[in-house]
């Protein structure tokens, strides 16, 4: 039995949609008060409305993770609304596809800016508050793409997701004396609004490549993040948890077909 997290305070960047929304919902179900972020007010409002009535409250701050001042504003809001900050889920991310021939410096900067720098900025902004909590938790949403696998069109995206893990390992060391853990969840293919827009046929093809026989849900990722946030995970830091239904396991298409 895990110690209750009821009353703890969390920030989930990119919590207005997709995986971040799923993390926010799982945390709120556990009684955690959550501040979600995103750049678009309408998406934040819709998510805040849909998650009303949970044991933990969910509120929003419209903000951009590429702006360190915005990140400080998010943290200040969480501290003001909930009396402190215990959990930071650095989740906001973008994944525009571009093969090498079309990959411009601007496209590289954009993906690295949101996915990597945005992760660093929100953690930096939260350092004092997480230290004060006495049991600070940082949970980064990385990906299997980059750290483990490749996907044509996503060389810059994969690099940004691997960069998060390079950051994590040293941040975990620097922050261990402050009793802050830093871990990452590496999702496989998760059903989000964006994936649903790709159509059922696309989703069926993707699911066929997963030994578990289904795509992941946002709550699959939320539950992994929740575990890292528990008191019982206090001795786990600098680690990664792949949540992919076994997607990275088959060594060939034949291996998958032989299941
Ligand atoms: P999504 O549905 O597109 O949601 C992305 C979230 O990030 C939105 O809330 C978005 O809100 C926010 N965001 C984007 N740029 C931002 C910025 N500059 N500042 C603040 N918020 C920003 O994407 P998702 O699929 O849930 O992905 C979430 C994370 O999971 C990403 O880090 C992604 O790399 C990772 N991931 C996803 C999958 C998957 O299968 N879906 C697999 C592996 C890893 P706004 O657009 O309003 O800013």
> What phi, psi does 39 have (nearest 5°)?
-85, -15
Measured between alpha carbons, how far is 253 from 4 in angstroms, rounded to an integer?
43
Sheet hosting strand 240-243, strand order edge to edge: 58-62, 33-38, 9-12, 87-90, 137-141, 181-187, 240-243
Q: Is the pLDDT of residue 195 over 90?
A: no
116 CA to centre of ligand 1 in angstroms: 12
Given a cut of 90, whether residue 126 has pLDDT beyond it is yes
The per-residue pLDDT for range 108-121, each reduced to its tens digit, is 999 999 999 999 99
Bridge partners of 33, per DSSP, are 9
Residue 207 has pLDDT above 90, yes or no: yes
Q: Which residue has the tokens 């509120």?
A: 59
- What does the pLDDT read at residue 94? 96
Place of tokens 């390992």: 169
Tens digits of residue pLDDT in 215-249: 999 999 999 999 999 999 999 999 999 999 999 99
> Is-contact 127 83, C-beta < 8 A?
no
Over residues 158-162, the mean pLDDT reads 98
Distance separating alpha carbons of residues 129 and 137, to the nearest angstrom: 11
The closest alpha carbon to 194, from 82, 112, 94, belongs to 94
Ligand 1 proximal residues by C-beta, below 6 Å: 13-14, 16-20, 37-40, 43, 64-66, 91-95, 114, 118, 141, 143, 187, 189-190, 192-194
Q: How far is the CA of 194 from the centre of ligand 1 (A)?
A: 10
pLDDT at residue 74 tops 90: yes
Closest-lying ligand 1 atom to the alpha carbon of residue 16: 9
**Closest Cα to atom 11 of ligand 1:** 38
CATH for 9-189+217-242? 3.40.50.720
pTM of the model: 0.98
Q: Which of 92, 110, 219 to mutate to test the pocket of ligand 1 (most atoms within 8 A of CB)?
A: 92
Q: Where are the alpha helices (DSSP H) in 32-183?
A: 41-50, 68-82, 105-111, 118-133, 155-175
Q: Name the token pair of 11.
A: 């920030």
Do the Cβ atoms of 110 and 94 come closer than 8 Å? yes
Please state which of the ranges 72-81, 153-162, 190-199 shows the lowest mean pLDDT.
Answer: 190-199
Ligand 1 centroid to 259 CA: how many Å?
33
């Amino acid at each position: 039995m895990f110690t209750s997290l009821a009353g703890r305070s969390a920030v989930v960047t990119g919590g207005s949609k997709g995986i971040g929304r799923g993390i926010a919902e799982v945390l709120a179900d556990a009684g955690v008060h959550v501040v979600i972020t995103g750049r678009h007010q309408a998406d934040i409002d819709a998510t805040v409305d849909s998650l009303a009535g949970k044991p933990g409250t969910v509120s929003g701050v419209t903000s951009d993770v590429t702006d360190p001042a915005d990140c400080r504003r998010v943290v200040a809001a969480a501290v003001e609304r909930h009396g402190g900050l215990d959990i930071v889920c650095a989740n906001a991310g973008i994944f525009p596809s571009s093969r090498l021939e079309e990959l411009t410096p601007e496209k590289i900067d954009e993906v690295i800016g949101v996915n990597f720098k945005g992760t660093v900025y929100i953690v930096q902004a939260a350092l004092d508050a997480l230290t004060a909590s006495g049991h600070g938790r940082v949970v980064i949403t990385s990906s299997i793409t980059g750290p483990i696998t490749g996907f044509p069109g996503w060389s810059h995206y994969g690099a940004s997701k691997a960069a998060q893990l390079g950051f994590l390992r040293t941040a975990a060391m620097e922050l261990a004396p402050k009793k802050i853990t830093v871990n990452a969840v590496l999702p496989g293919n998760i059903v989000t609004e964006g994936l649903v827009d790709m159509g059922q046929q696309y989703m069926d093809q993707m699911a066929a490549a997963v030994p578990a026989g289904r795509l992941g849900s946002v709550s699959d990722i939320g539950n992994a993040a929740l575990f890292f946030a528990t008191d019982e995970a206090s001795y786990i830091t600098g680690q990664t948890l792949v949540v992919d239904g076994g997607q990275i396991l088959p060594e060939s298409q034949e291996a998958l077909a032989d299941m």
